[in-house]
Structure 1
Amino acid sequence: MSHKTLLRTGPLLQGGAGPYGPPGRPGPDGLALPPGFFGRVVARSGQKVAGLTWHAAPDGGACFPDGAGWIYVSNSELPLLGGASALRFRPDGSIADAYRILSGTDLNCAGGATPWHSWLSCELGHRGRVFECDPYGARAARPRLAMGRFRHEAAACDPERGVVYLTEDEPDGCFYRFRPGDWGDLTEGTLEVLCGSGEWRQVPSPAALLTPTRYQVEAARHFDGGDGCHYAGGVCYFTTKGGTTLWAYDAQASSLDRLCSGVRAVTAAPSGDLYVSRETTEIHVIAPDREVTPFLRLAGHDGAELTGLAFSPDGARLYFSARRGRTDGCTFEVTGPFRP
Structure 2
Amino acid sequence: MERRNFLRGAVFGTSAAVFGGTLMQGAAYAAPAQNGVSPYGGLLAADANGIMLPSGFTSRVIARSSQTVPGTSYTWHGAPDGGACFADGTGWIYVSNAELGSGAGGASAVKFNSSGTITGAYRILSNTNRNCAGGATPWNTWLSCEEVSRGYVYETDPWGAKAAVRRDAMGRFNHEAAAADPVRKVIYLTEDESDGCFYRFIPTTWGNLSSGTLQVLKAGTGTSGSFTWTNVPDPDGSPTYTRDQVAGAKIFNGGEGCHYANDTVWFTTKGDNRVWQLNLLNSTYELAYDDSLVTNGTAPLTGVDNVTGTSSGDLYVAEDGGNMEICIITPADVVAPFLRITGQSSSEICGPAFSPDGKRLYFSSQRGTSGSSSGGITYEVTGPFRTTA
TM-score normalized by structure 1?
0.97
1:234 deviates by 2.1
Could you say which residue in structure 1 is the equivalent of 2:180? Answer: 157
Out of 105, 115, 140, which is 1:117 matched to?
Answer: 140
1:148-175 per-position Cα deviation (integer Å, ceiling 9, x unaligned): 0111111001111111000111121110
Contact between 2:29 and 2:331, CA under 8 Å: does it hold in 1?
Answer: no
Contact between 1:5 and 1:234, CA under 8 Å: does it hold in 2?
Answer: no
Secondary structure class of the residue paired with 1:289: coil
Could you say which residue in structure 2 is the equivalent of 1:224? Answer: 253
Could you say which residue in structure 2 is the equivalent of 1:68? Answer: 90
Which residues of structure 2 form unaligned runs of 5+? 1-21, 221-226, 292-301
1:280 deviates by 1.8
Output the CA distance in 1 between the equivalents of 2:143 and 2:31.
32
> Mean Cα displacement is larger for which, 325-334 or 305-314?
325-334
Contact between 2:147 and 2:176, CA under 8 Å: does it hold in 1?
Answer: yes
Output the CA distance in 1 between the equivalents of 2:28 and 2:281.
13
Contact between 1:8 and 1:248, CA under 8 Å: does it hold in 2?
Answer: no
Could you say which residue in structure 2 is the equivalent of 1:13? Answer: 34
Matches within 5 A, 1:1-340: 1-16=22-37, 18-49=38-69, 50-79=72-101, 80-197=103-220, 198-258=227-287, 259-261=289-291, 262=302, 263-278=304-319, 279-324=322-367, 325-340=372-387
Matched-pair identity in %: 54
Output the CA distance in 1 between the equivalents of 2:354 and 2:207.
22
1:293 deviates by 1.9
**RMSD, aligned α-carbons:** 1.3
1:301-333 per-position Cα deviation (integer Å, ceiling 9, x unaligned): 123210101001111100000123533210000
Give the letter aligned to residue 312 of structure 2: S
Output the CA distance in 2 between the equivalents of 1:144 and 1:5.
34
Contact between 1:89 and 1:95, CA under 8 Å: does it hold in 2?
Answer: yes
Output the CA distance in 2 between the equivalents of 1:276 and 1:208.
30
Q: 1:6 to 1:190 in 2, by over 3 A?
A: farther
Output the CA distance in 2 between the equivalents of 1:94 and 1:247.
37
Output the CA distance in 1 between the equivalents of 2:49 and 2:267.
29
Which residues of structure 1 form unaligned runs of 5+? none
1:15 deviates by 1.2
Give the letter aligned to residue 210 of structure 2: T
Contact between 1:114 and 1:120, CA under 8 Å: does it hold in 2?
Answer: yes
1:78-110 per-position Cα deviation (integer Å, ceiling 9, x unaligned): 001100000000111110000000000011000
> Mean Cα displacement is larger for which, 256-265 or 94-103?
256-265
Secondary structure class of the residue paired with 1:93: coil
1:8 deviates by 4.3
Output the CA distance in 2 between the equivalents of 1:313 and 1:156.
18
1:108-133 per-position Cα deviation (integer Å, ceiling 9, x unaligned): 00000011110000011121000000
1:235 deviates by 1.6
1:240 deviates by 1.2
Give the letter aligned to residue 331 of structure 1: T
Output the CA distance in 1 between the equivalents of 2:193 and 2:40.
37
Contact between 2:30 and 2:333, CA under 8 Å: does it hold in 1?
Answer: no
**Paired residues, what number?**
339
Give the letter aligned to residue 381 of structure 2: V
Give the letter aligned to residue 181 of structure 1: T
> Mean Cα displacement is larger for which, 89-98 or 1-10?
1-10
TM-score normalized by structure 2?
0.85
> Mean Cα displacement is larger for which, 141-150 or 237-246?
237-246
Contact between 1:322 and 1:330, CA under 8 Å: does it hold in 2?
Answer: yes
Q: 1:143 to 1:5 in 2, by over 3 A?
A: farther
